Amino acid sequence: DSGVTQTPKHLITATGQRVTLRCSPRSGDLSVYWYQQSLDQGLQFLIHYYNGEERAKGNILERFSAQQFPDLHSELNLSSLELGDSALYFCASSEPDTTYGYTFGSGTRLTVV
C-alpha cells in the first residue's frame, strides 16, 4: 500500500457521460498530480495541485477538470466522455520538496463504451 488511495479502481461508462475520480494523497503530502496512461503508453501529465491551488497544467482537455479540497483530497472530473478517454488514470502525491519523488496510487481504469 503506497499510501495514495484512488477510487474507484474500475469504472465502465457510456460515451457522453461524466465521471469523477477521487484521490487521497499520502499523509503529509500537499501536492497531488494527475496522469493519464493509455494502453502501453507513457504517463501523460494532466494537472498539479498544491495545497488547494492549481500549480501546473499539462495536456488536459477542456472536458476535464480537477480540484483539491481543504482536506487535500483531489477529484478529477471527466465529462462528455469519448471512447478515446478510456485509459488508466493515476494520482500521485509528494511532499513540497520532491526530493523523494512522487508516490503513485494504483490507478483508476476507465472504460468508455
Give the span between the Cα atoms of 40 and 72, in whole angstroms: 30
**55 near another protein, judged by CB under 8 A:** yes
**12 near another protein, judged by CB under 8 A:** no
As measured in angstroms, the least distance from the Cβ of 79 to another protein is 24
Angle at 50 between CA 66 and CA 20, to 5 degrees: 20
* C-beta closer to another protein: residue 13 or 37: 37
**104 near another protein, judged by CB under 8 A:** yes
Which one of 13, 20, 30, 45 is in contact with another protein (CB under 8 A)?
45
For residue 102, give the DSSP letter: -
